[in-house]
A and B are shown apart, each in its own frame.
Chain A
Amino acid sequence: MFKRKTATAPDIDQKAKEAYFTASQGQLILARFRSNRTAMIAAWALIIMILMGLFAPFLSPYDPTIAGRNDQYENGAPQMPKMWDENGFSLRPFIYATERERSMATNFRWVVKENRDERLYMTFFTRDWDYTIFGLDFNVMGHQVDVALIRSNIHLFGVEGGKIHLFGTDASGKDIFGRTLHAIWTSLAVGTLGVMISFVLALVIGGVAGYFGGWLDSVLQMITDAIRTVPQIPLFMAMAAFLPPEWSSEARFFFISIILGLIGWPTLARRIRTHLLTERSQEYVLAAELCGASSSHIIRRHLLPSFTSYIIVDLMISFPYMVRSETALSFIGLGLKDPVNSLGAMMQNVSKADVLLNYQWYFIPVFFFIALVLAFVFVGDGLRDAADPYSDSKK
């Protein structure tokens, strides 16, 4: 195929031209990706959200589990730090102290009032609950193994003589800000694990089908198509229903990831197969075969590198579907459950009429979910355009 190559117009100076021709495929993709403004914005948003998830314990002032609950501020509204009010200006941001009251006047319900005369000043790099980042804590044959990259109890901010809840609190007084950040990390982790599992399966099954062809290909295609036809979420539900309710939250987490991976592979496998089918009839494969290279050598050294970039793009595109599936499962109560902070588990609380009318800040995690999926989709789209060598000439 000879297409017009508009990107190498003669008026571009020699150096740029040279750089263009000697650039590796990765560099070319990166350069094309950078020139796509929407995708770049989405990429930055994505990076920020991933970092927020990674450093969630550092950023959140309170433990997101029941241990960090504020029993004096249940279903509390978000508190925005202020720099000034009618009582004057302050260099340090502050919030107001709150009081709970339940009496005849409030119809015997707990009502929280803020006391505008008493300021609680924000502190930074406060010491509070202990946490680990990249920590693992498990039990091997009776020995407690406990490793972590960072171990600390310093948090970005806190408040003097009280507690601050940027996104408010939920029904049991847990800080929604901290929970949201932790939930982003959990959802990303489940998605990553699921994508990895489905990737390995897709690579093996799609690779075998595409490389060997023949009846093996037909049989594998039949199975792949059959699995693709079954609606995924009902299948997820059916598998997730096996989960014994008494399992620990970690075990649930791994099982859900495995389910996502086991069901998510067919689409990817199909793409890998199609690519291999076209690629394996190329002359360089024939040359390698004539030189006596084994099939596994050809697959590993020649065929796989020829479409690494496409695989990366495909993985990126399938990521939001994984996150969405996890959320859907958790939302209907078959996925991760409350002590684990996943976005789906948090959204479960949203569906109550009481929340809709009175506690709208429960919706904050939903916006993070939408932003996360949108960012993934835009980045995936940008990468797909960038990886297509003809995308310049098409426009």
Chain B
Amino acid sequence: MLRFALTRAFLAIVTLLTVSLIVFTLMELVPGTCAERYLAFKNTSGSQISLADIEAEKVRLGLDRPFMTRWGSWVYDVVVHGEFGDSCILRLNINQLLADKFWVSLGICLAALILSYAIAVPIGILSSSSNNAVANNSLRFVSYLGLALPNFLLALIIMLISTVYFGDSLTGLFSKEYRDAAWSWAKFGDFLSRAWLPVFILGWSATAFALQTVRALMLDEIGKLYVTAASARGVSGARLLWRYPAKHSLGPVINSLGFDLNRIFNELPIVALILTLTEAGALLFDSLARSNDQQLAGAIIFLLTASIVALNFVTDILLALIDPRVRRGLMG
């Protein structure tokens, strides 16, 4: 078991390193360096600058070192100090900028993930065992609609209804009085009263996907002989479904949680844009679309990916604890 966990941890670290290389390369590819930006700012504030100044600034920021060295030191700072450096555009520390915004985003996404499975698992299991063609077909249609109906449209419709009938557009994550306040229970309550909408919208297409996965896996299991044998022994109804096929089909579901989180992160910037949220998704959008702030964007993408890798690691370990076949599979 320990060996399994160590192998998995090693693989996760390798994945993270590869991702950090990709992200760092992307950051480097953006035209213009940090040195030029700093000095461009100084230029607007009145002082004259020359090419030599840019070179000096490059040396000061360490931009004259080779690419791989800079990548190494970036990774070192992130891992050892948890430090993403400064944003060249905003001239602010990225950790301060992101701080709780990232945790808010992660919380919303995880809540959406939990919501989607809380709906999808019972309904998926029930529908796989029922022979009601109308119900099954409409369920299939709803699942597909989860893919086809864009999240932003759903958000717009809900906003429209709420604006017309309740006079509140439901946008943003906090009411005015709490926006800049420090975290407190009152602020948290206010946050919860607003956060359900992004959670619901992000969970909508995730639910559709999860429903399809659960149903397909259940259908594969339910025809197998051990299920027939169990029902021959007199186990029936919900007890039969839960104890036998559901147990087997939920293994792969746990395994795919990481990719579900990935999908939810995909929707995050768009939903954030529509609902004018003030969290990491919106910050990512701002840093890319408006200010071209590669340090900030890189940090956000890296953090999102890191949370997916972490979730993958946790689910792998969980699965190995539950299912001995998984442990042996990797060892043998």
Contact = CB atoms under 8 A, between A and B. Distances in A.
Interface of A: 222-223, 225-235, 237-242, 320, 324, 327-328, 331-334, 347, 350-351, 353, 356-357, 366, 369-370, 373-374, 377-378, 394
Interface in B207-232: 223
A109 to B, nearest CB: 22
A233 B269 contact: yes
* Max count, chain B CB within 10 A of own CB: residue among A226, A231, A239, A332: A231
Contacts of A232: 262, 266
Contacts, number: 125
Contact of A223 (B18, B150, B289): B18
Interface in B233-280: 258-259, 262, 265-270, 273-274
Nearest to B266: A233
A366 B153 contact: yes
Interface residues of B, number: 49
Interface string B22-54: 110010011100000000000000000000000
B309 A229 contact: yes
Contacts of A234: 265-266, 268-269, 284, 297, 300-301, 304
A343 to B, nearest CB: 10
A339 to B, nearest CB: 19
Contacts of A351: 152, 156, 274
Contacts of A230: 19, 22-23, 301, 304-305
Contacts of B29: 242
Nearest to B293: A241
A353 B160 CA distance: 8
Nearest 5 A/B pairs, CB to CB: A226-B18, A231-B265, A373-B148, A233-B266, A241-B288
B14 A328 contact: no
A377 B148 contact: yes
29 contacts: A223-B18, A227-B22, A229-B15, A229-B308, A229-B309, A230-B19, A230-B22, A230-B304, A231-B262, A231-B268, A231-B301, A233-B269, A234-B268, A234-B297, A234-B304, A235-B26, A237-B269, A238-B297, A241-B30, A241-B292, A324-B147, A328-B266, A331-B150, A334-B288, A334-B289, A347-B150, A347-B152, A369-B148, A370-B149
Contact of B148 (A331, A347, A374): A374
Residues of A contacting B: mostly: helix
A231 B304 contact: yes
Nearest to A394: B223
Contacts of A378: 144
Contact of B147 (A226, A320, A333): A320
